[in-house]
Amino acid sequence: MRRMPKVPRRGRNPEQGLARAEVLRDLISDVLIELSVRRGRTMLVLAAVALSTGALIASVGVSQTAAQQIGADIAATTLDEISVGVRPGGADQEDAPAEPAPVPTGEDGEPVEGFIDGPDRPAVGTAPTTVFPDDAEARAMAIDLVDAAGRQLTVTGLPGVDVTRTDDVPDERSGLVIRGAMPGYLDAARLDVPDERAWLLRGDEPVVFLGSAAADQLGVPMTEDPTGYQVWIDGQRYAVVGFLAGSGAAAGPASRGATLGEDAVMAPGAAIVVIPYQRALSMRGSDADATMLVRTAPGAGVAVGHVLREAIRPDAPERLEASQVQSLDSLRDGVSTQLGRLAAGIGAFLAVLTALLIASSMVASVVARTGEIGLRRALGASRRDVALVFLGEGAVVGVLGGLAGGALALVLVVGAAAINGWSALTPVWMVAVGPALGGAIGVVSATYPAVRAGRISPAIAVRAD
Amino acid sequence: MTALRARALTRTYPGGVEALRGVDLDVEPGERVAIVGRSGAGKSTLLNALGLLDEPTSGSYRLLGEETVGLDERRRDHLRRRALGFVFQDAHVLGQRTVAENLTVKLATSRVPRAERPPRIADSLARVGLSHRRDAAGRLLSGGEKQRLAIARAILTSPAVILADEPTGNLDGVNSQVVRDLFDEQARDGVAVVVITHDDRVAAWADRSVILQDGQFTEAMPQ
């Protein structure tokens, strides 16, 4: 008679002899066989996972590609204007006072005819402190693709600074903006002045150019030759030397305009009085609120914007900020984030839907395989062993489906980009995240069916058909 | 040591149905015991209890000397894995898997190292005369072959007790004899064989037959 087999007593692990790796290998092998013998169902579930993960990844990928394209389109079509300002706090650092502006003279060395000189010439006060160097415009213009550049400094609202038609009669005016500007500013703002007189803004002569609304309010007729007409600013006489014309397409630095609470509109018809930049600088005593408007070749704004500060202040670029570039970057990030969230939301909804479908399919599979579950339990499989088979099936189908989904997403992103003429954005994560996402969907989907399978009574299961 | 010993075993299902009402049973190693009875007599309930597939409501059941009533589920799973072999009426062959793969399920469940599996499978198939069908799909086997495969699976891990539920119920006379012969061989090796059957030939073949009626043993059939 054969000896009775020894059954280890409680407290010992009877399966210590079998390595975990071997148990895992058995489980994977078992799962793969189960999946292969139910090929049709496996392929359907795998396709569902592939489609959902592919849709999720592709929607995020397409949104990123679209956001990138939107940013590029904005840059290419609209960004040819940059505003450089003094970073908040940037003017507090010590700088050398600006040199007094040279007296403008004609070719013969005499003061230009028709302008105030001698004892009547208004004083411009003490030398102000500046962040922008005197040759800021020349430095900006040295950059390739920069068409025009010029500083502006608004003095409206300073105590005692007002503009009147005469020195003794207060006029009825509203909303007049007094702005000092360099000649290049008018070019950058796409404004013209008669007879190319913009150069008169280069010095500190008491001259003004008027927008049509300002001329109207001040009672200055808009004639071709305004010689003899004067306005009073801050108690000093300024000669009217011309009127603003041109498209005025540049609205000025929107972000800084908003910061200063100013009317950012710089247009021929605006109620604006333009004086030499140096005079405005003298009135304010600092260029902390000055900005430089830079006009570039179409689409070059981003590239120029990234080097502009270094070109103007190579010694301290951090004291300046190119606000329009920041605005664009922020806009692009915002578009990308919002599109990404929208796409991820739709994708997540699809993933949840797929998880529910897979769970439903697996519950049906558990019911269909009740006899097999009973057999496994009779052979000694624990609840956990049975549950692991179903969890493993979910994980394997999920990982394989996710892999296919990642590949599908790549095709979709590249296809969408090709159809729309975009540059496809296909980061590595797009492929790597597929199996992980699919595996997660598969495991989550299989959890309930697996638990349910583990809970089936073996006594009932062995008698199931 | 007695292979299995049941004392005053009861099983009452929810609703108050008493499927087993104080069953006493001893089976010695190498003994062949047939349990007969009409449908609804409690035969399957008794087999579930003896096979640790179901928990008795009360009583005592010792398997290889170890009390199993009140045992935690992990230990019951382990005892079932190591001490018991099952043969069901419909064989429970996994039809999509090959004969060898069907046996591998049992070996993997019992945590038998991979290196030991091929010789065990070969030996087991040789014992039941299915070596030539090693790579055939389970669904392609005949009824007799399926039952022989079920027996091969039951003896793979050298159990102490084989529990068979109508093992010859779907077989013709020849195949029924083959199954009995295989059980004989196991009994000669010291395996206790408990068979639930309607088949008079099986009941006559057993060393001892007991009649189950209304959840109780009424008498032993003459052999």
Report the pLDDT averaged over residues A367-371.
89
More confident residue, A425 or A283: A283
How far apart, in whole angstroms, are the C-alpha atoms of residue A144 and residue A31? 65
Residues from chain B that touch A35, judged by Cβ atoms under 8 A, are: none
Give percent of chain A with pLDDT exceeding 70.
77
Where is pLDDT greater, at A361 or B191? Answer: B191
Tell me the shortest Cα–Cα distance from B192 to chain A, in angstroms. 10
pLDDT for A255 equals: 35
| Alpha carbons A15 and A20: distance in angstroms, whole number | 10
Q: Which residues of B touch A29 (CB under 8 A)?
A: 108
pLDDT in tens, A153-170: 988 877 767 777 766 555
Residue in A7, A9, A365, A388 to test binding to B, most B beta-carbons within 10 Å: A7
Of A2, A25, A372, Cβ closest to residue B189:
A2
Kindly state the average pLDDT of the residues A324-346.
71
Residue of A7, A23, A459 lying closest to B111 (CB–CB): A23
Which of A4, A22, A383 has its CB closest to that of B29? A4
Nearest to B81 among A17, A380, A459 (CB): A380
The answer to whether A379 contacts B51, with C-beta atoms less than 8 Å apart, is no
Residue A336 pLDDT more than 50? yes
Contact B1 A4 (CB under 8 A): yes
pLDDT surpassing 50 at residue A256: no
Report the C-alpha gap between A407 and A384 in whole angstroms: 34
Hey, is A372 helix, strand or coil?
helix
Using pLDDT thresholds of 50, 70 and 90, give the confidence band for residue A447. very high
- Picking from A272, A156, A264, the residue whose alpha carbon sits closest to that of residue A214 is A272
What letter represents residue B161's amino acid? V
Closest CA to B144 of B124, B122, B169, B108: B169
Does residue A265 have a pLDDT over 60? no
Q: What are phi and psi for residue A389, nearest 5 degrees?
A: -60, -45
Q: Is B70 exposed, middle or buried (0-12, 13-18, 19+ CB in 10 A)?
A: exposed
Average pLDDT, integer, range B36-42: 89
A364: number of CA atoms within 13 Å, CB side? 8
Give the minimum alpha-carbon distance from A25 to chain B in angstroms, rounded to a whole number: 10
Inform me whether the C-beta atom of residue B82 falls under 8 Å from chain A C-beta atoms: yes
Across B37-46, B61-70, B197-206, B214-223, least confident range: B214-223
CA B159/CA B145 separation, integer angstroms: 21
Alpha helices in chain B (DSSP H): 43-50, 73-83, 99-109, 117-128, 143-155, 173-188, 200-205
Cα of B84 to nearest chain A Cα, Å = 8
Q: Does the pLDDT of residue A13 top 50, yes or no?
A: no
* Minimum-distance CB partner of A7 among B64, B113, B190: B64
Measure CB to CB from residue B97 to each of A26, A33, A381 and give the nearest one.
A33
Our CA-based measurement puts residue B157 at a distance from the nearest CA of chain A, in whole angstroms, of 10
pTM beyond 0.80, yes or no:
no
pLDDT at B62 over 70: yes
* Interchain contact B76–A (C-beta under 8 A): no
The yes-or-no verdict on residue B23 having pLDDT over 70 is: yes
The whole-number average pLDDT for the span B185-203 is 91
C-alpha distance from B208 to closest chain A C-alpha (Å): 18
Contact between A378 and B51 using a beta-carbon 8 Å cutoff: yes
Is the pLDDT at A247 greater than 70? The verdict is: no
pLDDT tens digits, one per residue of A191-214: 888 777 888 898 888 999 998 888
Residue A200 token pair: 């008169």
Instruction: Decide: A156 and A121 in contact? Cβ < 8 Å.
Output: no
Residue A172 pLDDT: 57
Question: What pLDDT score does A259 carry?
Answer: 30
Q: B28: alpha, beta or left, given left = phi > 0 and alpha = psi -120 to 50?
A: beta
Half-sphere exposure of B152 (CA within 13 A, CB side): 29
| Residue B56 or B223, more confident | B56
**What's the pLDDT at B194?**
96
Smallest Cα distance from B219 to chain A, Å? 26
The pLDDT value recorded for residue A326 is 54
Predicted local distance difference test score (pLDDT) of residue A92:
65
Chain B segment 88-127 residues within 8 A of A by beta carbon are 88, 92, 94, 96-97, 101, 105-106, 108-114
Does residue B115 surpass a pLDDT of 50?
Answer: yes
pLDDT at B91: 74
Q: pLDDT tens across A85-134, in order? A: 888 876 666 555 555 445 445 555 555 444 444 444 445 555 677 889 98
Lowest mean pLDDT of A32-46, A154-168, A199-213, A356-370, name the range.
A154-168
Q: Is the pLDDT of residue B169 over 70?
A: yes
Are B29 and A1 within 8 A, CB to CB?
A: yes
Chain B residues with CB under 8 Å of A33 CB are 97, 101
Q: Is B53 on the interface with A (CB under 8 A)?
A: yes
What pLDDT is stored for residue B63 in this prediction? 95
Instruction: Look at residue A5 and tell me whether its pLDDT is greater than 70.
Output: no
Structure tokens of A198? 């913009």
**A314-323, A398-407, B136-145: lowest mean pLDDT where?**
A314-323
Residue A98 or A369, more confident: A369
Pick from A233-237, B7-11, B61-65, B203-207: least confident: A233-237
Average pLDDT, chain A: 79
Q: Is B1 on the interface with A (CB under 8 A)?
A: yes
Question: How much of chain A, in percent, has pLDDT values that exceed 90?
Answer: 22
